[in-house]
């Protein structure tokens, strides 16, 4: 799939602090790209460079093969972590103002705003002042302002902040729909369950450098370690040296859950055969690491180097 965004050798320093070091990234078109990293890793710096808020010290950024230039702002929708609505303005006036800044005519802006407010079932907010909205309500307005001009590239920094679970799911559904309509979405968040659920690709930045990058499914596949979760009746003690019992928990009566790792090149069927010979197996499933577990492992491993 062709790329919409290419980051080549981006480096940025603030005084004596190196925020980004020779960073390279490629974001495929019509994908959902999770940009991850601990606080201070450099994620927000990269986002600000893409949005031309700050300049890189070295390197280049390309949008659809073109060197990043001021006119590309019209192709980008940016939801910053620090919200930027004018508190004294009414919702309708605020959205009209921001839509026209993105190049929409007054007529087209009004149509799109009404469509979005209707979709979110908040059309009666038109004349409410921003200062009278809750954090979550204001976040909805900011999200609409981000996508109102139908950008090809949407960058969302902590997009679920301030939302209850119902409204967070609403925004997730909108992100998926925007991708289906052709948009590319880059989002940065600390909510790893959202990354797990939404992203096609992920990149992990730590201490100014990229330490992990690729398709989510490939990254999860590469972190498998042949561990299986086994639900069984009767304690599991006697299995041969090809397998290691990592942990065993007892449930009601004689039920147990064990985590067993294959330590040699054996097949899952061979492990299951050994288990059946030693206990009454009720459940047998491979443990696939979550994005959160991979994130923690990668960052800790990087810190130990």
Structure tokens at 119: 């979709």
Separation between Cα atoms, residue 227 and residue 209, nearest integer Å: 30
When pLDDT is averaged across residues 184-191 and rounded to a whole number, the result is 90
When pLDDT is averaged across residues 270-277 and rounded to a whole number, the result is 91
Structure tokens at 234: 């009767």
What are the backbone angles phi and psi of residue 180, rounded to the nearest 5°? -60, -30
When pLDDT is averaged across residues 113-132 and rounded to a whole number, the result is 93
Is the pLDDT assigned to residue 36 strictly greater than 70? yes
Domain boundaries, the chain: 3-221, 225-287
| Percentage, residues of the chain above pLDDT 90 | 65
Specify the length of the chain in residues. Answer: 305
Average pLDDT of the residues of the chain: 91
What pLDDT does residue 180 have? 95
User: What CATH number matches the domain at 3-221, 3.40.50.300, 3.90.1210.10, 3.40.50.12280, 3.40.630.10?
Assistant: 3.40.50.300
When pLDDT is averaged across residues 218-225 and rounded to a whole number, the result is 91
Structure tokens at 70: 């001021």
Is the pLDDT assigned to residue 305 strictly greater than 60? no
The reply to whether the predicted model has a pTM over 0.75 is yes
Separation between Cα atoms, residue 169 and residue 172, nearest integer Å: 5
3-state secondary structure the chain: CCEEEEEEEEEEEECCEEEEEEEEEEEECCCEEEEECCCCCCHHHHHHHHCCCCCCCEEEEEECCEECCHHHHHHEEEECCCCCCCCCCEHHHHHHHHHHHCCCCHHHHHHHHHHHHHHCCCHHHCCCEHHHCCHHHHHHHHHHHHHCCCCCEEEEECCCCCCCHHHHHHHHHHHHHHHHCCCEEEEECCCHHHHHHHCCEEEEEECCEEEEEEEHHHHHHHCCCCEEEEEEECCCCCCCCCEEEEEEEECCCCEEEEEEEECCCCCHHHHHHHHHHHCEEEEEEECCCCHHHHHHHHHHHHHHC
The region of weakest confidence among 26-35, 102-111, 134-143 is 134-143
What pLDDT does residue 111 have? 96
What pLDDT does residue 241 have? 76
What pLDDT does residue 304 have? 58
Site of tokens 């009414």: 90
Q: Give 153's contacts (C-beta < 8 A, 6+ positions apart).
A: 4, 5, 27, 63, 75, 76, 77, 183, 184, 186
Q: Tell which residue, 198, 157, 192, has the closest CA to residue 174.
A: 198
> Could you tell me the CA-to-CA distances from 302 to 24, 209, 212, 298 in Å, in that order?
18, 10, 10, 6
What does the radius of gyration of the chain's CA atoms come to, in whole angstroms? 24
Separation between Cα atoms, residue 46 and residue 7, nearest integer Å: 9
pLDDT interval class at 33 (50, 70, 90): very high
What pLDDT does residue 151 have? 95
pLDDT interval class at 303 (50, 70, 90): low
Is the pLDDT assigned to residue 302 strictly greater than 70? no
Residue 135: CB atoms within 10 Å: 10
When pLDDT is averaged across residues 273-290 and rounded to a whole number, the result is 92
Structure tokens at 169: 């799911």
Is the pLDDT assigned to residue 84 strictly greater than 90? no
Is the pLDDT assigned to residue 99 strictly greater than 90? yes
Q: Are 11 and 23 in contact (CB under 8 A)?
A: yes
What are the backbone angles phi and psi of residue 231, rounded to the nearest 5°? -95, 130
Structure tokens at 239: 């299995």
């Amino acid at each position: 799939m062709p790329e919409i965004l290419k980051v080549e050798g981006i480096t940025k320093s603030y005084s004596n602090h190196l925020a980004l070091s020779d960073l390279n990234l490629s974001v495929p078109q019509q994908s959902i790209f999770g940009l991850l990293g601990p606080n201070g890793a450099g994620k927000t710096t990269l986002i600000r460079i893409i949005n031309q808020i700050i300049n890189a010290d070295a390197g280049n950024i390309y949008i659809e093969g073109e060197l990043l230039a001021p006119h590309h702002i019209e192709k980008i929708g940016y939801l910053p972590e620090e919200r930027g609505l004018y508190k004294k303005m009414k919702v309708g006036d605020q959205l009209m103002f921001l839509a026209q800044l993105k190049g929409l005519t007054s007529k087209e802006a009004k149509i799109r705003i009404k469509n979005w407010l209707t979709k979110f079932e908040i059309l009666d907010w038109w004349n409410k002042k921003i200062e009278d909205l809750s954090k979550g309500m204001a976040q909805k307005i900011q999200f609409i302002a981000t996508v109102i001009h139908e950008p090809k590239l949407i960058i969302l920094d902590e997009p679920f902040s301030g939302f209850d679970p119902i409204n967070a799911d609403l925004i997730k559904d909108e992100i998926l729909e925007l991708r289906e309509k052709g948009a590319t979405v880059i989002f940065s968040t600390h909510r790893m369950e959202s990354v797990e659920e939404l992203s096609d690709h992920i990149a992990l930045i730590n201490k100014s450098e990229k330490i992990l990058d690729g398709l989510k499914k490939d990254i999860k596949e590469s972190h498998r370690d042949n561990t299986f979760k086994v639900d069984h009746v009767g304690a599991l003690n006697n299995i041969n040296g090809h397998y290691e019992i990592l942990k065993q928990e007892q449930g009601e009566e004689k039920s147990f859950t064990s985590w067993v790792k294959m330590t040699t090149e054996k097949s899952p069927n061979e492990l299951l055969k050994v288990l059946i010979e030693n206990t009454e197996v009720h459940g047998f499933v491979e443990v696939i690491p979550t994005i959160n577990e991979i994130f923690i492992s990668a960052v800790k491993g990087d810190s130990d180097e």
